[in-house]
Amino acid sequence: MKTFKLGGIHPAENKMAASQPIEEFPLPKQGIIPVSQHLGAPAKVLVKRGDQVKTGQLVAETAGFISANVHSPYTGKVKKIDHVIDASGYRHQAIIIDVAENEEWEEGIDTSGDIIRQVTAEPNEITEKMKAKGIVGLGGATFPSHVKLMVPEGKKVEYLIINGVECEPYLTNDHRLMLEKAEEMMIGVSILMKGLGVNKAIIGIENNKMDAVEKLQSLVKDFDGISVEPLKVKYPQGGEKQLIKALINREVPSGKLPLEVGCVVNNVATAYAVYEAVQKNKPLIDRIVTVTGKSLKKTANLKVRIGTKFSELVEYVGGLPEDTGKIVAGGPMTGKAITSLDVPVIKGTAGILIMNKKEARQAEPRTCIRCAKCTEVCPQGLEPFLLHQFGELQKPEDAEVNGIMDCIECGSCNYTCPSNRPLLEYIRYGKAQTNEMIRNRKQK
């Protein structure tokens, strides 16, 4: 079975929500819709206080090439436009909507459960639709998806790679999606193929989700050019560079995009969102969120409207346990710890992880014993112990030479360090310094 070669770790999977079917989460009373849910420029607000909005209405539009539309997930009245704390820990602009009782959808949106199999849209229509409906990469980076479809001239795309790896421990939202919305997702993949003009697509899934692999493989015969590839479990296989390496054995050159080796990578959830946008005209206003944690009474995979507060989701699974020590938006390896449960679900929220006091505390960092474990597990072939020193000593030049900008921040080095050194923290710090240095250099 295939996997990537360099480095990698095997954190405990803890995917206890894997058997929980997706549940539709009820509408909240109030929704908080940040305008910056994606990578790139924050969207420009189109509504003002007191405006009535319908479900699916455009409320903030793209501001720049790399930016995305934001739609209202609710019918109701705009209460205010304010700055609220989001998962980043800082305040950002958001539209706050009081949700009305009766839901009214924007015209043209197909809310029925019928599967539309015939793809009639032309490639440029597909791109336009994705742009209009605010589709972003749902794997976590929330990169505006339509930009990925605009292949620059001179570049040729051979493969569409669909990421169903879900290598983060705890998270199961992609897994459930592949099981329950398999056909829709496959149609989404073929739409993306059409949009890109490629005839080969590979769906990579780790072999701890064999049921999903089997389910998708049973559908493959209806779709030309799509194949499903089980992969050996290893973190961070979901990193796009690692995934490409594992599936077609090509290495994305340092500092380049997957396009360089003829690949475009999209997440399974993105494929599903594309299906909804193109076939059903539905903008990206909901997503599947895994709510999980060892101390929770039950775990769940919930289909949640964007803007629902974390607190409501946690309430749904039985409330916050007494001994909660940390709340993480996303998975344990790359997610962000948040300061309060008032944070809303955004397009990139894949899960909410509740950790108890014991899990939350990190052990005291100790001296580096130069065991080279970090070098062993780094999937990018870097030397984290060295980069971390350069970060600490503020030496961006040396850090750059040693490839600090290649770091994908997967956290494998931190995970494995016997001395609990905060390697990734210092590397991020070093990266910021190096970035600044490169910017300054370019300005000169």
Partner 1 sequence: MNQVIISAVISLGAIGGAAAIILYFVAQKFKVIEDPRIDEVDEILPAANCGGCGYAGCRAFAEAIVKTGDLDNLYCPVGGNEMMKQIAPIIGVEAKEKEPEVAVVRCNGTRQYAPEKVEYDGPQSCAFAHSLFAGKSGCPNGCLGLDDCVESCDFDAMYMDEETGLPVIIEDNCVACGACVDTCPRDIIELRPKGKKDKRVFISCVNTEKGAVSRKHCSVSCIGCGQCVTACPFDAISMENNLAYIHPEKCKLCRLCVPICPTNAIVEANFPEMSDKLIEKAKENYTKQKEKKKGAGKAGEEKAKAKKATSTDKKTSASSEKKTQDKSISTSDAEKKEPRNDSEQTSKQKDKSSPDNPENK
Partner 2 sequence: MNNQLTISSSPHVHGNWTIEKAMYGVVLAMIPAMLVSFYMFGLGALRVMLISVIACLAIEYIIQKYLIKGPVTITDGSAIVTGILLAFNVPTSIPTWMLIAGAIVAIGMGKMSFGGLGKNPFNPALVGRVFMLISFPAAMTTWPKPIMSRQYFSFSGLDEKVMDSITGPTPLGILQEQGPGAVTPDYVNHLLGSMSGSMGEISAIALILGGVYMLVRKIITWHIPVSYLLSSFLFAGILWLVDPTQYADPLFHMVTGGLMLGVFFMATDYVSSPMSKKGMLIFGFGTGVLTILIRVFTPYPEGVSFAILLMNAFTPLINSYTKPKRFGEKLPA
Cβ-based nearer residue to partner 1, 194 or 428: 428
Please tell me the distance from the alpha carbon of residue 359 to that of residue 325, in angstroms, as a whole number.
Answer: 8
DSSP tag of 332: T
422 lies in the site for partner 1, by CB under 8 A: yes
418 lies in the site for partner 2, by CB under 8 A: yes
Burial of 163 (0-12, 13-18, 19+ CB in 10 A): buried
CB 51 within 8 A of CB 331: no
Sign of the C-alpha dihedral computed for residues 251, 254, 255 and 260 taken in this order = negative
Cβ-based nearer residue to partner 1, 133 or 326: 326
Look-up of token digits 């049973």:
218
Element (H, E) at 356: strand 351-356
Q: Which does 424 bind (CB under 5 to 8 A by kind): partner 2, partner 1, none?
A: partner 2
Helices (H) and strands (E) in the chain, counts: 14, 17
Cβ-based nearer residue to partner 2, 116 or 368: 368
Cβ-based nearer residue to partner 1, 114 or 363: 363
Cβ-based nearer residue to partner 2, 285 or 355: 355
By CB under 8 A, the residues from 271 to 290 that bind partner 1 are: none
249 lies in the site for partner 2, by CB under 8 A: no
CB 246 within 8 A of CB 2: yes
| Closest to 296 (Cα-Cα) out of 317, 315, 325, 312 | 317
365 lies in the site for partner 2, by CB under 8 A: no
Q: Could you say which of 81, 126, 246, 273 contacts partner 1 (CB under 8 A)? A: 81
Please tell me the distance from the alpha carbon of residue 349 to that of residue 87, in angstroms, as a whole number.
Answer: 9
Please tell me the distance from the alpha carbon of residue 108 to that of residue 38, in angstroms, as a whole number.
Answer: 25
By CB under 8 A, the residues from 132 to 171 that bind partner 2 are: 169
DSSP per residue, 221-255: GGSTTEEEEEE---BTTTSHHHHHHHHH---PPTT
337 lies in the site for partner 1, by CB under 8 A: yes
List the structure tokens of 117. Answer: 């199999």
Least distance between partner 2 and beta carbon 173 (Å): 18
Q: Which does 411 bind (CB under 5 to 8 A by kind): partner 1, partner 2, none?
A: partner 2
Least distance between partner 2 and beta carbon 440 (Å): 24
91 lies in the site for partner 1, by CB under 8 A: yes
360 lies in the site for partner 2, by CB under 8 A: yes
Q: Could you say which of 112, 113, 363, 443 contacts partner 2 (CB under 8 A)? A: 363
403 lies in the site for partner 2, by CB under 8 A: yes
Least distance between partner 1 and beta carbon 318 (Å): 23
41 lies in the site for partner 1, by CB under 8 A: no
Least distance between partner 1 and beta carbon 223 (Å): 43
Least distance between partner 1 and beta carbon 315 (Å): 20
| Closest to 411 (Cα-Cα) out of 357, 301, 337, 315 | 337
47 lies in the site for partner 1, by CB under 8 A: no
358 lies in the site for partner 1, by CB under 8 A: no
353 lies in the site for partner 2, by CB under 8 A: yes
Reading phi first (left if > 0) and then psi (alpha if -120 to 50, else beta), residue 40 is in left
List the structure tokens of 327. Answer: 């709340």
* Strands lying side by side in the sheet with 263-267: 226-231, 201-206, 159-163, 263-267
Binding interface with partner 1 (CB under 8 A): 48-49, 80-83, 85, 88-91, 337, 339-340, 360-362, 365, 422, 425-426, 428-429, 432
Binding interface with partner 2 (CB under 8 A): 6, 9, 11-12, 89, 169, 241, 245, 251-254, 256, 324-328, 330, 332-340, 353, 355, 359-363, 366-373, 375-376, 378-383, 385-386, 402-403, 406, 409, 411, 414-420, 422, 424-425, 428
